[in-house]
Amino acid sequence: MIHSSNIRTLRTHIQQWKQQGKSIALVPTMGNLHKGHLALVDRAHQLADITVATVFVNPAQFDNPDDLNAYPRTLDSDARQLQERDCDLLFAPDTQVMYGDKPSPTRVEAGAISTQLEGESRPGHFSGVATIVSKLFNLTTPDMAIFGEKDYQQLLVIRQLVEDLNYDIQIIGHPTVREADGLAMSSRNGYLTTEERLAAPMLYSTLQWLKQQLRQGNNNHSELLTQAKNRLAEHGFKPDYIEIRRQKDLQHPNNNDQKLIILASAWLGKARLIDNLAFQTGDLD
């Protein structure tokens, strides 16, 4: 595996692969890799000749400096795991390489889908994501890029970015990888105490409970969401939002919408956990 932290080396390798007619899949990450990230790398491997992974803790997408400082940085172990997964190139630049020291560098403004849910709780977050993802697309010019569905709103923001800015890149969403007890894998799970870790799967089981209620024809969304928040609060969570939306655009559903998604974010101790559950109202499982 080639391990590069500078743009010139990255571009040289990308150019060589392009000249050889190889297809390139990009897996952007902020590091502290877990099985969820590695599943993205495996998917990239299946789909393209070359897998490029990036590790960069992007300051532009953090609305809280304490959160940015606390974010786990584990580059050596990340590089080892990527090497074991036969990743072809790891690009792990520092902030100076990505942003220089300009006081106010150009930013990409994310589209309409970014203003609610995560966007409302974390002002500027999706503009930071859209900016770094655009930069990584420009630097690596991949044929495709793989993102986890755990960050469902991010995935839609990136799909809109690609459409609106005319990137010729296929965006692939990969299903959330879960622990045996249902907790979605996340770098932020490391912030949980032993006791909180035991309570954490309640987030996903609350989403499953909600889905079951909706499937049984209980259509009183506001009552269901209040009950869901109460369930979470009883287990020590401080819910941020929990919402039932349409999968395609995250708007409130009407009676004819069948493809729905429940999205939630809740604090458990120092960890802000997010999760979602997509389903079709007619499905039987």
Task: Assess 132 for contact with ligand PAF (CB under 6 A).
Answer: yes
The piece of 12-20, 25-33, 97-105, 235-243 that touches ligand PAF (CB under 6 A) is: 25-33
**Stretch 153-172 residues interacting with ligand PAF (CB under 6 A):** 154
Least distance from ligand PAF to the Cβ atom of residue 280, Å: 26
The piece of 78-86, 127-135, 234-242, 270-278 that touches ligand PAF (CB under 6 A) is: 127-135
Least distance from ligand PAF to the Cβ atom of residue 133, Å: 6
Locate 218 and state its tokens.
Answer: 């209980």
Residue type for position 179: E
Residue among 153 and 206 whose Cβ is closer to ligand PAF: 153
Alpha helices (H) in the chain, listed in sequence order: 7-19, 35-47, 65-70, 75-84, 95-99, 118-121, 125-140, 152-164, 194-199, 202-215, 221-234
Q: How far apart are CA 2 and CA 262, in angstroms?
A: 40
Q: Are 231 and 209 a contacting pair, CB within 8 Å?
A: yes
Least distance from ligand PAF to the Cβ atom of residue 92, Å: 12
Q: Are 7 and 93 a contacting pair, CB within 8 Å?
A: yes
The piece of 76-84, 91-99, 125-133, 275-283 that touches ligand PAF (CB under 6 A) is: 125-133
Task: Assess 133 for contact with ligand PAF (CB under 6 A).
Answer: yes
Q: Are 174 and 39 a contacting pair, CB within 8 Å?
A: yes
Residues in the chain: 285
State the pairing for strand pair 259-268/238-246. Answer: antiparallel
Q: Are 195 and 269 a contacting pair, CB within 8 Å?
A: no
Candidate list 4, 29, 127, 140; residue touching ligand PAF; CB under 6 A: 29
Q: How far apart are CA 253 and CA 256, in angstroms?
A: 8
Candidate list 32, 51, 58, 127; residue touching ligand PAF; CB under 6 A: 58
Locate 166 and state its tokens.
Answer: 């005319």
Task: Assess 30 for contact with ligand PAF (CB under 6 A).
Answer: yes
Catalytic residue among 37, 45, 125, 174: 37
Count of residues that bind ligand PAF according to CB under 6 A: 10
Residue among 177 and 202 whose Cβ is closer to ligand PAF: 177
Q: Which residue is nearest to ligand PAF (CB)?
A: 28
| CA nearest to 47, candidates 24, 20, 17, 14 | 24
Q: Is 174 designated active site?
A: no
Locate 215 and state its tokens.
Answer: 């499937």
Residue among 127 and 206 whose Cβ is closer to ligand PAF: 127
Task: Assess 28 for contact with ligand PAF (CB under 6 A).
Answer: yes
Task: Assess 201 for contact with ligand PAF (CB under 6 A).
Answer: no
Candidate list 42, 118, 151, 196; residue touching ligand PAF; CB under 6 A: 151
DSSP state of 30: -
Least distance from ligand PAF to the Cβ atom of residue 122, Å: 11
Task: Assess 129 for contact with ligand PAF (CB under 6 A).
Answer: yes
Q: How far apart are CA 39 and CA 134, in angstroms?
A: 23
* Residues recognised as catalytic: 37
Task: Give me the residues that bind ligand PAF (CB under 6 A), please.
Answer: 28-30, 58, 61, 129, 132-133, 151, 154
